[in-house]
A and B are shown apart, each in its own frame.
Chain A
Amino acid sequence: MSKSLSQLVSSKAVAEVELWISKYPAEQKQSAVMAALRIVQDENGGYLNRELMDGVAGFLDMPFIAVYEVASFYSMYEHNPVGKYKICVCNSISCMINGSEKIIDYLEKKFGIGVGEVTKDGRFSIKEVECLGACVGAPMMMIGKEYYEDLTPEKIDIIIDGLK
């Protein structure tokens, strides 16, 4: 028997999921699955695991597989540990022609890790992502929920230094 969501996450998180459920028609609880996955992922240090996905399924009366489908379809859900700061660098067209690959190189060297890896201290991971919709600020990246635009190596240093 899988654990219920309230055994897995804080009551605050459960309340937040409830709030999302209330946005949709009563018989359409499943609509809150994306929000629920995001909320439990955030609380779990940025990635999902089977227990959490099953907990969400139970909470929303969904078949497990329907939750796995959603969790594996959208790119913002992670299934392996990520850094406390997940650095997502856009590498689509506008960023690419403005040097995003150099930005990725710079970050890789700076942290001594490759794309898809986490620093030993667990603080940083780098992810290459498709267009983040901030093309006029290319090259750009997202750390956590924050956008950083018009990047240069110097600017990156300042941004990283500013992270607690």
Chain B
Amino acid sequence: MVNEVCFKNIDKDKAWKLDVYQSTGGYNVLKKILQEKTDPATIIDELKTSVLRGRGGAGFPTGLKWSFMRRDDPGQKYIVCNSDEGEPGTCKDRDILRYNPHALIEGMIIAGYTIGASVGYNYIRGEFWQPYERCEEAIEEARAAGLLGKNIFGSGFDFELHSHLGAGAYICGEETALLESIEGKKGQPRFKPPFPASYGLYGKPTTINNTESLASVPEILSRGGQWFLDIGKPNNGGSKLFSVSGHVNKPGNFEVPMGMPFSELLEMAGGVRHGRRLKAVIPGGSSVPILPGEIMMDTNMDYDSITEAGSLLGSGAVIIMDDLTCMVSVLANLSHFYMSESCGQCTPCREGTGWLSRVVHRIEHGEGRMEDLDMLFDVAVKMGGNYYEREGGRTICALGDAASMPVLSFLKHFRKEFEYHIEHKKCMVARY
């Protein structure tokens, strides 16, 4: 059961064209919904049945999120798609934008209908110029075919869709920073409450979903929530895109059933490069705790299993590291990333990310002190909370937590390597 949902047409020639999409039933379910004026509650129920969990990282059930919108309240509402894809390791949404833009468009129209929004914005990261152009073409095709615009399928339902291009800021993937960015401001997250469902884009009720979440909706609704759920496992419905990168022979994006053993996914990606030993895996994008290879080999790829194993499924970015990887330099790289990407508004993150990054960098370069290790752990906890004790972070948005989790987990699993660096002023493993 691979390539059933978002990658359904991936192998077809010009998979992104409207006719190809329609050749496999594309836009049929939209037509049905609009013509039959399906009760939005029914759509939401179907999504709840499917247990589609948000693919952006937090895994929040999409059906439940949509139910927060007060559809019948007067005034403008918005559906916003998060195609900012910036989490290191993650590159799946890019392929949806490139190869299956119509699934996203159909998903957004259905979302708009369900939550009562007549306008949607797709926030595409600025670097994704080609994917953006693909989407623009697809929007043009859809508009020409009467799938966007006024009175779609003669149903009286109007829907407009626009792309908004980012300009280089990971933080704009955070949903409220993304809204600020569409509003023409710096991408600084808003504090919540209020949540976007009551105060979103331009202050209007807004639902924000990830590209993959939205692109999954048409297939779920046409084949049924139960069908989708059954692809995966209870509480972890459907198939999911995994971006497998790092030290594998055949890196790539794979759409596979939730709950697939990690070992199988690794196999699909051609196994560890040069037949080396699997040392460590970051199973859900750079923000989630790292796990040693042995643990991963016994884990399945679904939200619950990975949580149980001590990490998070996150955005589904699986970063594979072989035994020649220096864990100190990897953490230095990750910490540098969060330092560069902190928006700067709240104290613990603005100051903490730089502190962490500098200390790890120092250790990497042989200038560490043993007491740095406990201090790193402590600083990470004070900024982003303690993942292992389920204590949340102290920042406005989850970037603080995201910067802290790698530090905590690297120290938990690979402390020895840090100690070696400090003691010997050099690395335990050969560097690339």
Contacts and interface: CB of A to CB of B under 8 A. Distances in A.
Chain A–chain B contact at Cβ < 8 A: yes
Contacts of A91: 333
Contacts, number: 152
**Residue of A31, A66, A97, A98 with highest tally of chain B CB at under 10 A:** A97
B126 interface: yes
A70 to B, nearest CB: 6
Contact of B333 (A38, A93, A99, A135): A93
A33 interface: yes
A34 B87 contact: no
Summarize A's interface: helix, strand, loop or mixed: mixed
Given A31-B182, A70-B185, A142-B127, A133 B169 contact: no
A149 B251 CA distance: 12
Contacts of A80: none
Interface string A53-95: 0000000101000100110011111000000000010011110
B166 A28 contact: no
B254 to A, nearest CB: 10
Given A93-B286, A93-B319, A135 B89 contact: yes
Contact of B337 (A23, A28, A93): A93
Q: How large is the interface on A (under 10, 10 to 19, 20 to 34, 35 or more residues)?
A: 35 or more
B176 interface: no
A69 B247 contact: no
B292 interface: no
A97 B246 contact: yes
B362 interface: no
Contacts of A76: 126-127, 167-168
B291 to A, nearest CB: 15
A162 interface: no
A109 to B, nearest CB: 18
A101 B184 CA distance: 34
Nearest to B95: A136
B94 interface: yes
B144 to A, nearest CB: 17
B114 interface: no
B166 A93 contact: no
Interface residues of B, number: 55
Contacts of A24: 162, 182
A134 interface: yes
A10 to B, nearest CB: 20
B39 interface: no
B187 A133 contact: no
A134 B164 CA distance: 20
Given A31-B184, A132-B127, A136-B243, A38 B167 contact: yes
B186 interface: yes
14 contacts: A23-B164, A25-B202, A30-B184, A35-B165, A66-B185, A73-B169, A74-B126, A77-B167, A93-B88, A93-B319, A97-B321, A133-B125, A135-B251, A136-B252
Given A34-B167, A66-B185, A145-B129, 18 more contacts: A25-B76, A31-B183, A60-B184, A70-B184, A92-B88, A93-B334, A98-B245, A98-B247, A131-B88, A131-B170, A133-B90, A133-B94, A133-B125, A133-B127, A133-B128, A135-B89, A136-B245, A138-B246
